[in-house]
Structure 1
Amino acid sequence: MARQSGIIPLKGTIGNITFYKTKAGHLAREKGGVDASRIATDPAFVRTRENGAEFGRAGKAGKLLRTAFRAMLMNISDSYMSSRLTREMVKVIQADATNVRGKRNVIDGEAELLKGFEFNSNGRLGGTLYAPFTTAIDRTAGTLKVDIPAFIPVNMLASPAGSTHFKVQVAGAEIDFEAETFVNSSAASTELPIDATPTTVMNLAVNVTANSTKPLFLILGVEFYQQVNGALYSLKNGLYNALALVDISGMPASPGGGSA
């Protein structure tokens, strides 16, 4: 891959060179590679097939997780989020100590490795909300919650220019990666002014299936608004809205002590 440096950027293919545009600029690369049928059958490419299978599994798992939280993800802007999540899902799958290479999966991996994942690298929760908070997942009751003590917004929020109000949101999801289904729920504070008035204590809780045997995920986010003539408008570009995975409960232990 090489960067185009000419006055007029090219798009398309000339000979064995393909010219294309990305967010990183206009690039060029040489066509080539191993024939797909050989990769699919040649014993020399067994590792490639194993890696490909697990990467595909990671991509599918990441898409399911994104779908479960789609309502909140619609309010953030990060064009590389999907690829970043897939990369982290690969790590989850590689932590599977039960299955052989190529057969490893999210269920037998370590879903907890996703804790702390920032859905918006442009507006990270860790660099947006400085108020302390605690999380808890009660698998028996099917309750996921975030508790935030009272705080002064102007001191404890890194708010984008033009914003006058904010809202704190949580969402929980119970995800069945094998059946590709999920149960989700969300809750939010009211829209609050970004000023020196302390907030009330926030106890935001959501519910999924009680006694679930599936991985449970809890996300926390901050969305910003601008007040114009008494009306609140969401900052639609979502560039600085923060959202992160703050707590995860993977597969519960089986009665025999192993993974379910």
Structure 2
Amino acid sequence: MAELQGILKFTGKLDGLSFYKMGGKIIVRKPGGFDGEKIRKEAKYANVRQNASEFGRCSKFGGKLRRALQPFAKELHDPILHGRMAKMLHEIMKLDQESAKGERTIQNGLQHPESGTVLKSFLWNPSDGKRFRYSFAERRLFFDRLPEGSTKAEVTLRFVDPDEVEYSLKFMDVVLEVSLPCSEFFIPEDERFEMVGDGWLKFALIRFFDGDGYLMTGKTAVVLG
């Protein structure tokens, strides 16, 4: 990198050099970066291609999962949720011990016992933290911290099938209403529970309402059971 001296000041490219303004000065440097053709074909970039392929699939799956959790995911008001989800899903993908690097899948990773730990440690609403715990096996919700002034919670148990289809992930809902305050809620049996596959993702999505029946913004909670 060099600094352009003299009367003539310009920006742009000339004879293979780039001229740009930074800090009130004109800086000269030779363009760098990766050669796309080499990355696609040369053996020494195999690791780069493998990583790009896996992160791409994680991003795509993350988009489908985020859409499957609407409108709740939108109510989290997190502009970087998609990126955080892709990073979390890549941790799950790395648990796939059946496939070679570059060919690993989230579905295989979800079969690993540690995938549940990764999913449950993910913080869906960073601005509001974790409010409750959910045990699908025990059919219980535990309210550890209630929003001040909340008198009712609308609970949507959403069961998401992680097997990908072209445009979306399939899911099924069971909706419940909980009077607040309470610290624990027993989920009544429902025949739809029998339709939930072993590998499905079992979410509890909770909206809180105040005494006037208005939705409390920024308080929506998402947790995995």
Aligned CA distance change for structure 1 residues 95 and 77 (closer, same or farther; 3 Å): same
Is residue 166–residue 225 contact of structure 1 (8 Å, CA) maintained in 2? yes
Instruction: Give, in whole Å, the separation in 2 of the partners of 1:63 and 1:185.
Output: 18
1:42-86 C-alpha deviation (Å, 9 max, x unpaired): 222110001000110111111121122223223222222211111
Q: Return the structure number with greater strand share.
A: 1
Instruction: Give, in whole Å, the separation in 1 of the partners of 2:67 and 2:106.
Output: 16
Instruction: Give, in whole Å, the separation in 1 of the partners of 2:99 and 2:21.
Output: 41
Instruction: Give, in whole Å, the separation in 2 of the partners of 1:172 and 1:187.
Output: 9
User: What is the letter of the counterpart of residue 177 of structure 1?
Assistant: E
- Give the aligned partner of residue 128 of structure 2: 123
1:13-51 C-alpha deviation (Å, 9 max, x unpaired): x945799xxxxxxxxxxx842122221122221100010
Aligned CA distance change for structure 1 residues 78 and 48 (closer, same or farther; 3 Å): same
- Give the aligned partner of residue 220 of structure 2: 241
Gaps (5+ residues) in structure 2?
A: 1-17, 24-30
Instruction: Give, in whole Å, the separation in 1 of the partners of 2:22 and 2:124.
Output: 32
Q: CA deviation at 1:185?
A: 2.0
User: Could you tell me the percent identity over the aligned residues?
Assistant: 15
Q: CA deviation at 1:191?
A: 5.8
Select the residue among 200, 213, 220 that pairs with 1:232.
213
Instruction: Give, in whole Å, the separation in 1 of the partners of 2:186 and 2:215.
Output: 21
Is residue 183–residue 209 contact of structure 1 (8 Å, CA) maintained in 2? no
SS at match of 1:47: helix
Instruction: Give, in whole Å, the separation in 1 of the partners of 2:123 and 2:188.
Output: 20
Aligned CA distance change for structure 1 residues 104 and 208 (closer, same or farther; 3 Å): farther
SS at match of 1:107: helix
SS at match of 2:91: helix
Q: CA deviation at 1:200?
A: 8.2
Select the residue among 156, 171, 181 that pairs with 1:184.
171
Structure 1 window deviating more from structure 2 (185-194 vs 38-47): it is 185-194
Instruction: Give, in whole Å, the separation in 1 of the partners of 2:39 and 2:21.
Output: 23
User: What is the letter of the counterpart of residue 216 of structure 1?
Assistant: W
Q: CA deviation at 1:103?
A: 1.0
- Give the aligned partner of residue 57 of structure 2: 57
- Does structure 1 residue 146 correspond to structure 2 residue 139? yes
Instruction: Give, in whole Å, the separation in 2 of the partners of 1:188 and 1:18.
Output: 56
User: What is the letter of the counterpart of residue 55 of structure 1?
Assistant: F
Is residue 189–residue 202 contact of structure 1 (8 Å, CA) maintained in 2? no
1:185-232 C-alpha deviation (Å, 9 max, x unpaired): 2233326344xxx5784316673784848x3001123322234xxx42
Instruction: Give, in whole Å, the separation in 1 of the partners of 2:158 and 2:59.
Output: 22
- Give the aligned partner of residue 9 of structure 1: none
Instruction: Give, in whole Å, the separation in 2 of the partners of 1:99 and 1:122.
Output: 37
SS at match of 2:209: strand
Gaps (5+ residues) in structure 1?
A: 1-13, 20-30, 137-144, 247-260
Q: Return the structure number with greater helix share.
A: 2
Is residue 134–residue 223 contact of structure 2 (8 Å, CA) maintained in 1? no
Larger Rg: 2
- Give the aligned partner of residue 69 of structure 1: 69
User: What is the letter of the counterpart of residue 164 of structure 1?
Assistant: S
Is residue 134–residue 204 contact of structure 2 (8 Å, CA) maintained in 1? no
Q: Report the RMSD for the aligned CA atoms in angstroms.
A: 3.4
Q: CA deviation at 1:93?
A: 1.4
Q: CA deviation at 1:115?
A: 2.8
SS at match of 1:176: coil
Q: How many corresponding residue pairs?
A: 195
SS at match of 1:225: strand
Is residue 54–residue 103 contact of structure 1 (8 Å, CA) maintained in 2? yes
TM-score (norm 1): 0.62
Is residue 118–residue 245 contact of structure 1 (8 Å, CA) maintained in 2? no
Instruction: Give, in whole Å, the separation in 2 of the partners of 1:16 and 1:245.
Output: 49
